[in-house]
Chains A and B, each alone.
Chain A
Amino acid sequence: MKIINCPLNGQRNAQEFVYGGEVEPHPNPHLVSDDEWASYVFIEKNLSGKVLEWWCHVPTAYWFIAERDTKLDEIFKTYDPSKIFKERIDFLPPEDSSKKTTESAVNNMHNTDSIKKNTTEGNS
């Protein structure tokens, strides 16, 4: 049985968790085309190497972020989403929109560049 370290509950069997997709900037649905929105919702990058992923601990419905190596299938770091997402983001209609996306939040993460570098290397 694989063990995943939940930031809230500690070590738990992997069967208590579900995968929630890649962490990527959330576009403003009012400002993007249908194709761009569909791409965000349905298309996974499926990168090889170190990636950021959403995982949920089902018994607590607690979502967190995991840094996982898809080649090794090894999770080497997990943490609360508040480490990246510092504030609530409301996507307002175009006339009121501040054009705020989660991109800045994700880009602010200290090791995003290294993860991008690693995943690029993994694809080459």
Chain B
Amino acid sequence: MADVLKPSSLIKRSFLYRIHEKAGGVFIEENGFAVPSNYGQSVREEITLAHQMGIADLSHVSRTGFKGWHAASWLEKKNCKFGLESNFSYLQSTGERILRLSPNEFAIVGKIVNDSDFITELNSSLHPETDEGVFIVPRSDTNCWLKVMGVNAPSMLAKVCAVDLRPQIFPDGAIAQTNIARLNCIVTRHDVGLATTYDILTDCASADYFWQALLDAMDEFSGGPVGVTAVYQLAGVG
């Protein structure tokens, strides 16, 4: 019998690893993190779930942020491409996404599949002594990243969020910075394959509560947790 990967055997773990263990998560290593590959179901079953109503923990994927009155010009010098519109996500040619949260604040999220060193290199290229007016916002250590998926996702989110996130109102790439289940969140519509999905960044200290609150809200839609293998397949990789 193959060795079962225990999250506690790795230094890096999701904020939610205890919950994933209790839910029967089967772990694999991604980016040095122990992440749930699946929750005991077949990949096909979890993909079906994801198309209807699912939630995945992507907290192992790299992310960061920059703010300050020179943040936009500094990022442009690093070959980041984005527009003037705030609260919109801009896809980079390398696959990362730049979330423009305001004229002077940005969050940058890595690729779900084949996460690169782009964000690590961006972080290390900031020199506070010389790069005046740019400050790092270390979102990897402060935000958990959850992906809510499926045709029932807008209905489920309507129970816990006052902003209208229906696909016809909230297009792919749109961002809402608002309360979900009474927590401050950054929610981005970021479709994967044919599935409507929402990426949610929120305070890692409340990750347990938030995960349970969303599972509770999706109960009436027969939703449940989805492992990363199903998410990769939705994205056409894996």
A interface with B by C-beta (< 8 Å) = 1, 8-9, 12-13, 15-16, 57-60, 62
Contacts and interface: CB of A to CB of B under 8 A. Distances in A.
Lowest 4 CB-CB distances: which A-B pairs, in order? A59-B184, A60-B177, A59-B177, A13-B162
Contacts of A58: 184
B185 A8 contact: no
Contacts of B162: 1, 12-13
Given A9-B87, A9-B177, A16-B179, A62 B163 contact: no
Interface residues of B, number: 13
A59 B162 CA distance: 13
Nearest to A15: B179
Nearest to A82: B103
Nearest to A12: B178
B176 to A, nearest CB: 7
A8 B176 CA distance: 10
Interface in B41-64: none
B179 A62 contact: no
Given A9-B177, A13-B162, A59-B178, 19 more contacts: A1-B162, A8-B86, A8-B87, A8-B102, A9-B87, A12-B162, A12-B163, A13-B179, A16-B178, A16-B179, A58-B184, A59-B177, A59-B179, A59-B184, A59-B185, A59-B186, A60-B101, A60-B177, A62-B102
